[in-house]
Structure 1
Amino acid sequence: MQRPPFSALAGVYDAIMADIEYGDWAAFILEYARDVGLTPVSALDLACGTGALTAELESRGLSVQGLDFSPEMLEVARARLPGVSFVQADLRDFVLPGRFDLLTCVFDSLNNLTEPADLGRALSRMALHLKPGGLLAFDVNTRVGVRDLWEGEVMEGLAPMQGGREVHYHWSHHYDAPTQLGTVQAICRVDGEEFIELHTERGYDVADLEPLLRAAGFVSWEFCEYPDYAEPWPQSPRLWVFARAALHQVEE
């Protein structure tokens, strides 16, 4: 049965993604912040999913909130972090009270915004939710990264779940050159029950992101690679972006 993106997947997501280095990503982000003279106290984790990065930020002493479009993913996040506030909202038009020292949006979440205008809208919302001089940290798959997502175009395996169950997953990738969109067909099976989700991404390069960051109101930004902050090369499959809000901001 085909389901909307990030709906049925919520129940098996953490099992399949158990090896993702969220803790290292949190350390990477906070080390960058320290290196540019920032000590974040408050954070908003955007497209937070099941709350894995949210938990890492909270464990490092930040007052953190999470936001995601998927109610199913947020249900898992709330169970994981009952003391954290989570909000269901769209990245393109979210409005929250207050502003934050740090905004994060990881694991190529912004690639799901396949129209550049929608990405621009999301970046504008992010800029408005940062305190003066605050920091936005996100990663994106580049055009090359979306085109060449996995060697062999398939990811398959068995992952253990709580209670002794297992999820069998078979994810296949198709790249459509005319539209420059990549689509992952995610097939998952647990206890004989099977579901399918389709996830479509557009890749974004430095040349795509710079005008969008500028139009959104960010005053400076840096592109780098994980984990050593190296300058990206033309064929980099993934970029990390650190963007700073203006020191003096106009109220919305």
Structure 2
Amino acid sequence: MQSQPPFTALAAVYDAIMADVEYDHWADFVLTYARDGGLEARSALDLACGTGGLTRELLAAGLRVHGLDGSAEMLRVARGRLGPGVALSVGDLRTFDLGETFDLVTCVFDSLNNLLTPADLGAALARARAHLHPGGLLACDLNTRIGVRDLWEGDAVEGLARTPDGREVHYHWSHHHDAEADLGVVQALCRVQDDRGGWEEFVEVHRERGYDPADLEPLLRDAGFDRWEIVEYPDYAPPSPDTPRVWVFAWVGA
């Protein structure tokens, strides 16, 4: 079995496994919050856009969208999904510089948890801030510490999915919490039917650090955001101590 870097081999089967992810509801959640705050966004930067799930929903809502991701493999899938007219860039969340600004910056599906130190997360927040117009909004979600510690009931998920061309994908993803490093570790094992009826197997190891609201607030302040709100999905309620995932809405002053 081949061990692969995160989000490389997985790119080819990611959309099949994640077919039930509610990107449309997430987009509505973000755009509703923006409108209620007085922002009618016309342009968006979708960070860690992956295969373009949220990017596609923002495009459908009429926004001009630029997608950025650290994985060229995921972006190749996004290009096929979104077509040639959408700007897509390979970039590091901590250091990217596109030379333009946007009304809205998004980063969803706990992508920021892949930044394993507060310094790295702070750098990514500062780069997001630098790419926002005055009056612009950052919208992102993060798993909290308890969310990373107790990611899945039974610490595993498994199932069968099918790619668009009909190939079977068997997956078994296991999770454990590394208490010493305070990281969640996911071993993503996939067994994929090939074109000849045989099988290919690979495994990717993904690591996440959880961030609580108390961890996030000084990082948002240091990144240059003027005000922010940390809430639960889907009702925008304040998070409780046992909330597994929070959404951050952070504003740049006009």
What TM-score range do you get, normalising by the shorter chain?
A: over 0.9
Identity of aligned residues (%): 67
1:114 Cα deviation after fit: 0.5
Aligned counterpart for 1:223 among listed residues 216, 220, 230: 230
Map 1:83-232; keep pairs closer than 5 Å: 83-191=85-193, 192-232=199-239
Instruction: State the distance in 2 between where 1:96 and 1:125 align.
Output: 10
Counterpart amino acid of 1:110? L
* Residue 66 of structure 1: aligned partner: 67
Give the aligned partner of residue 250 of structure 1.
none
SS of equivalent to 2:34? helix
How far off its partner does 1:63 sit?
A: 0.5
Q: After the TM superposition, which residues 16-95 of structure 1 pair with which residues of structure 2 at under 5 Å, given as runs?
A: 16-82=17-83, 83-95=85-97
Q: Distance in 2 between matches of 1:203 and 1:97?
A: 30
Q: Whole-Å Cα distance in 1 between the matches of residues 67 and 166 of structure 2?
A: 29
Residue identity matched to 1:9: L
Structure 2 unmatched runs, 5+ = 194-198
Distance in 1 separating the partners of 2:164 and 2:234: 31
Once residues 125 and 253 of structure 2 are traced to their aligned partners in structure 1, the CA distance between those partners, rounded to angstroms, is: 14
> Per-residue displacement from partner, 1:60-93 (whole Å, max 9, x unpaired)?
0000010000000000001111210100000000
CA contact (8 A) 1:184 1:198 kept: yes
Q: TM-score, normalised by structure 1?
A: 0.97
Q: Give the superposition deviation at 1:11.
A: 0.2
Return the alpha-carbon distance in structure 2 between the equivalents of residues 185 and 178 of structure 1.
Answer: 18
Q: What secondary structure does 2:137 align onto?
A: strand
Deviation at 1:163, TM superposition (A): 1.8
In the aligned structure 2, how far is the partner of 1:70 from the partner of 1:50? Answer: 10
Following TM superposition, by how much is the alpha carbon of 1:246 offset from its aligned partner in structure 2, in angstroms? 2.4
Query: Does the residue aligned with 2:10 lie in a helix, a strand or coil?
Result: helix
User: What CA distance in whole angstroms lies between the structure 2 residues aligned with 1:210 and 1:193?
Assistant: 44
Please give the alpha-carbon distance, in whole angstroms, between the structure 2 residues aligned to 1:135 and 1:91: 17
Gaps of 5+ in 1: 248-252
1:95 CA drift (Å)? 0.2
CA distance in 2, matches of 1:5, 1:182: 14
Residue 164 of structure 1: CA displacement?
1.6
Q: What is the CA deviation profile of residues 92-151 of structure 1, one whole-angstrom value per residue up to 9, with x for unaligned ones?
A: 000012100000000000000011100000000010000001000000000000000000
Structure 1 counterpart of 2:7, which letter? Answer: F
Equivalence for 2:252: 245
Task: For residues 167-210 of structure 1, give each alpha carbon's deviation from its aligned partner in whole angstroms, at most 9, with x where no partner exists.
Answer: 00000001011211000000001121000000000000011000
| Number of matched pairs | 247
Q: Aligned with 1:124: secondary structure?
A: helix
SS state of the match for residue 145, structure 1?
A: helix
- Residue pair 1:217, 1:246 contacting (<8 A) in 2 also: no
For residues 198 and 217 of structure 1, the distance between their equivalents in structure 2, rounded to whole angstroms, comes to: 33
Q: Could you list the structure 1 runs, at least 4 aligned residues long, displaced by more than 3 angstroms after superposition.
A: none
What's the CA shift string for 1:12-56, capped at 9, x where partnerless? Answer: 000000000000000000000011111000000000000010000
